[in-house]
Amino acid sequence: MRHAPVENEKRRMLVKTIDLRSDTITHPTEEMRRAIGTAEVGDDVFGEDPSINRLEEMAARMLGKEASMFTPSGTMSNLIAVLSHTRPGNEVLVGSESHMLWNEVGGASALGGVVMHTVPNDEDGLIDLDVMEAAIRPPNIHYPPTTLLCIENTHNRCGGAVLTPEYTSGMAAVAHRHGLSVHLDGARIFNAAVALGIPAGELARDADSICLCISKGLSAPVGSLLCGHREFVEKARKWRKMVGGGMRQAGVIAAAGIIALNTMVVRLADDHTAAQRLAHGLARIPGITSWPEKVQTNIVMFEPPASNTTPDFIQAMVSRGVRFTYPGGRRVRAVTHRMVDAADIDEALNRIEAQVGGKAET
């Protein structure tokens, strides 16, 4: 008994950790590391970093926009989008489950001075068109003017749900008719494009701006790109400087991003296959509640048996070497990515089954 903690520690070190917390944990590939080592660089605040300029041109072209701007994170891209599209005291419509509402520290309100007006997301990440339209304030001396609609594709808290181009067009048409701009939080837009088998540009067509992350499933170490019309991006550059996101020889980062956009998009299909494997495996484990038919991309939501609180389940799984995140409520979030393969998924399923079946660790 006295030696048990030491034995546990030894065992923990022997067990390979399967990290399903996020696709953000992916490391740069060898090819990226080589490109970083030889990247051509300049001072990007002067617009003179050739690697950054190339990455920005690539992202704009892939998203069908005139221009794009590199930022250190998706959070900063979304913040700059709000700062560029609105004025303090304006109102921004966001989904009730959106990343911009939940996961960005309230930056749009704290730094942009906007009112975040939430409209309900259904479980597929969709906002009802009529409900959205009804939320837009009519002209009235009492009301803050509604000037921006933000939507999210894929939808993180709604299990990686995909918005179709038709849905996006419909929302954008109504928003534009009322004089709102439309920002698309496309941190995982390429997951949506791969799931639908269409170019990402089709998903961004009706949005005035879109941000995408290269540091998630695409495996680059850092960064996001905010894309839109040329004048929008020029305005955004000024805001980026103000919030401290103007970087100097950022080409060392862009070099990895260029490889991410060139070579890592198609392989997102592998992450989706792994998510299917995980979701269907979870559905076979007694006591686990899951919705494999809902899984469209690389995010899988499930619930542990009612005998466990979700934080306790997640903690127990840490000691079994499988890591998840906790989005709140009963749900556990698992994300597949380049650094877990089919064998890892099967092993994770075994460990989950051992946990919920109360089997001894082996």
Ligand X SMILES: *Cc1c(COP(=O)(O)O)cnc(C)c1O
| Interaction between residue 73 and ligand X (CB under 6 A) | yes
| Interaction between residue 74 and ligand X (CB under 6 A) | yes
Q: Least CB distance from residue 187 to ligand X, whole Å?
A: 3
Cα–Cα distance between 357 and 50 in angstroms, integer?
56
Which residue type does 329 have? G
Residues 127 and 272 sit within 8 Å (Cβ to Cβ) = no
Residues 338 and 35 sit within 8 Å (Cβ to Cβ) = no
| Interaction between residue 75 and ligand X (CB under 6 A) | yes
Residues 203 and 168 sit within 8 Å (Cβ to Cβ) = yes
| Interaction between residue 62 and ligand X (CB under 6 A) | no
| Interaction between residue 146 and ligand X (CB under 6 A) | no
Q: Are strands 299-303 and 331-335 parallel, antiparallel or unpaired?
A: antiparallel
| Interaction between residue 55 and ligand X (CB under 6 A) | no
Q: Which residue is nearest to ligand X (CB)?
A: 74
Q: Least CB distance from residue 314 to ligand X, whole Å?
A: 19
Closest to ligand X by CB, 75 or 290:
75
| Interaction between residue 150 and ligand X (CB under 6 A) | no
| Interaction between residue 92 and ligand X (CB under 6 A) | no
Residues 243 and 80 sit within 8 Å (Cβ to Cβ) = yes
Near ligand X by CB under 6 A, which window of 42-50, 67-75, 169-177, 313-321?
67-75
Residues 86 and 114 sit within 8 Å (Cβ to Cβ) = yes
| Interaction between residue 185 and ligand X (CB under 6 A) | yes
Cα–Cα distance between 200 and 165 in angstroms, integer?
10
Both tokens assigned to 243: 């919030």
Q: Least CB distance from residue 57 to ligand X, whole Å?
A: 21
Q: Least CB distance from residue 99 to ligand X, whole Å?
A: 3
| Interaction between residue 68 and ligand X (CB under 6 A) | no
Q: Are strands 299-303 and 322-323 parallel, antiparallel or unpaired?
A: unpaired
Binding mask 96-125 for ligand X (x = CB under 6 A): ---x--------------------------
Cα–Cα distance between 346 and 255 in angstroms, integer?
34
Residue 304 CB-density burial (10 A; 0-12 exposed, 13-18 middle, 19+ buried)? buried
Q: Least CB distance from residue 217 to ligand X, whole Å?
A: 10
Closest to ligand X by CB, 41 or 211:
211
| Interaction between residue 208 and ligand X (CB under 6 A) | no
| Interaction between residue 298 and ligand X (CB under 6 A) | no
CB contact set of 216 (below 8 Å; sequence gap of 6+)? 22, 23, 24, 26, 187, 188, 337
Q: Least CB distance from residue 73 to ligand X, whole Å?
A: 3
Helix (H, G, I), strand (E, B) or coil at 119: strand
| Interaction between residue 333 and ligand X (CB under 6 A) | no
Interacting residue ranges for ligand X, rule: CB under 6 A = 73-75, 78, 99, 152, 156, 185, 187, 213, 215, 224
